[in-house]
Copies of this chain bind each other. A is one copy, B any other.
Amino acid sequence: MDNSDKTIDLGFAKLDMERGERTGFKEVIFCQGKIDLHLLEICVALFEKNGEVFGTRATEMQSQMIKKIFAEKFPCAAVDYDEVSKILIIRKEPMQENHVGIGNIAVCTAGTADIPVGEEAARTAEYFGANVERFYDVGVAGLHRLLDRIDEIRKASAVVAVAGMEGALASVIGGLVKVPVICVPTSVGYGANLGGLSALLSMLNSCANGISVVNIDNGYGAGYIAAQINRLAEGIK
């Protein structure tokens, strides 16, 4: 067993404690599918070492389990769970109300059904220190909804474009801004959308420039990259 500074070895998991130094952002937890015992043990280990925990794709039930046990074990800890984005955050003390992130990231969604993925991206970027503006339900079927807001979107250092179905939002935004557009295809749709492959392929084949793509429904990944770019744009490296 090596429980060096670099790794906490829980047997079933090896927590990468060097990640913050190596990549600039500390290790987070992908909660989906983890059994309660494992999730709890990882949360505790990270909380004790880092003083905070960030978990994605947590279920309502997982959040309640964590809340209950942390209330007993660490009475001061603030456990926040957001039902839309499924993000679970544990902090030593509650976030200050007037906390403001740095820079400017725009998170856009094509439809209402894409909001959960958009929120995962937005809250991830916020957790990693960025200021985020949200532009939801601005899909191309009613183009004026996007064009009315484009000047605000252009102020961002990075744009996250979240869309299901045919994913056309990516190309339209890509043609209108100067900064990278990180695109998240979503599984929103049915039939020939093939669980999100249709939007994924659209975004990969975009005729616009500055477009890159992450996995289907991977709001976290897009928020992470947007935070990286935003950090660089603010002079941090």
Contact = CB atoms under 8 A, between A and B. Distances in A.
A167 B235 CA distance: 31
Most buried by B among A7, A198, A216: A198
Contact of A178 (B7, B196, B237): B237
Contact of A202 (B38, B113, B179, B201): B201
Interface residues of A, number: 93
B210 A141 contact: no
Contacts of A214: 204, 211-213
Interface string A200-236: 1111111111111111111001101100110011010
A76 interface: no
Contacts of A229: 180, 229, 232
A108 to B, nearest CB: 12
A102 to B, nearest CB: 13
Given A115-B12, A205-B198, A144 B232 contact: no
A194 B223 CA distance: 23
B202 A197 contact: no
Contacts of A192: 196-197, 200-201, 204-205, 215-216
Most buried by B among A23, A34, A174: A23
A59 to B, nearest CB: 14
Interface of A: 2, 6-7, 11-14, 16, 18-19, 22-25, 32-34, 38, 110-113, 115, 136-145, 148, 157, 165-168, 170-172, 174-180, 182, 185, 187-218, 221-222, 224-225, 228-229, 232-233, 235, 237
Given A140-B172, A191-B215, 5 more contacts: A18-B142, A168-B172, A192-B197, A200-B204, A235-B235
